[in-house]
Amino acid sequence: MLKQKGVQLQRRKFTKEFKAKVALEAIKGQRTANEIAQEFGVHINQINLWKKQLLEAAPEVFSNGKTQEAKRMEVERDQLYRKVGQLQVEVDWLKKKTGSPT
């Protein structure tokens, strides 16, 4: 919560649909940011941030999820390699500790 001179203000939460609607209005360029801010009751900086986020994320819409899936698989692969490395170190340590020849 935000505090301002002894008054507690709650953060407003916006749905993704609302954010998209406001950002699309800003991208259209038919009205000024001030007009959009007044209509939707949102600060101009927030509108500009949502507009920027929408423009940056737009190419992902046409990727059919392949890019996100590839990133997820890469992260999972890296985690597995780290785990294999950790287990190999543990096996080597146990061999050394027990005096195993192999």
Query: How confident is residue 69, by pLDDT bands cut at 50, 70 and 90?
Result: confident
Q: Would you say the pTM of this structure is higher than 0.75?
A: no
Angle between helices 44-61 and 16-28 (to 10 degrees): 100
Per-residue pLDDT of 28-42, as tens digits, reads 999 999 999 999 999
For 27, half-sphere exposure in the C-beta direction (CA atoms, 13 angstrom radius) is: 15
- Would you say the C-alpha torsion 62, 16, 36, 33 has a positive or negative sign? negative
Distance CA 97, CA 83 (A): 21
Domain boundaries, the chain: 1-62, 64-102
